[in-house]
């Protein structure tokens, strides 16, 4: 389960954001996960709270935005949604395509809370 190592790396980045913002903790972490990234979203959502326990991300909500796989066609220049196993242009049928989205695993935002009043 590589989701554990992903959760640890995610937590490290969240901790850096909280420190940089001089906040006390993270309330919500939004990530974008591509359909072809190989990340098991359910497992990541299960393990993140365990990794975050006792840290500045303890109790933080993990929101996941799923990113569909998309290809850009070299033949006609159009972009279209890709099938998971067969990548071809939906507009012209060409197989001369380049994956333009679907492998990402990015932090979109981190909502932080400051105890300062």
Residue ranges and CATH numbers for the domains of the chain are 3-68+102-113 (3.30.2320.50)
Arithmetic mean of pLDDT, 10-39:
97
Helices (runs of H) and strands (runs of E) counted in the chain: 2, 6
| The pLDDT of residue 115 | 78
Arithmetic mean of pLDDT, 42-69:
97
Which of the four pLDDT bands, split at 50, 70 and 90, describes residue 116?
low
C-alpha pair distances (Å), 116 with each of 17, 23, 70? 17, 8, 44
**pTM attached to this predicted model:** 0.87
Rg (CA), the chain: 18
């Amino acid at each position: 389960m590589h989701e554990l190592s992903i959760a640890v790396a995610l937590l490290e980045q969240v901790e850096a954001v909280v420190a940089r913002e001089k906040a006390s903790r993270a309330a919500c972490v939004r990530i974008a996960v591509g359909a072809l990234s190989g990340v098991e979203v359910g497992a990541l959502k299960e393990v993140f709270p365990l990794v975050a326990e006792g840290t500045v991300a303890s109790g933080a909500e993990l929101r996941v935005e799923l990113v569909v796989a998309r290809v850009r066609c070299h033949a006609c220049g159009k972009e279209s949604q890709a099938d998971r196993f067969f990548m071809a242009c939906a507009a012209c049928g060409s197989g001369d395509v380049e994956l333009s989205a679907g492998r990402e695993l990015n932090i979109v935002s981190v909502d932080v809370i400051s105890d300062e009043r």
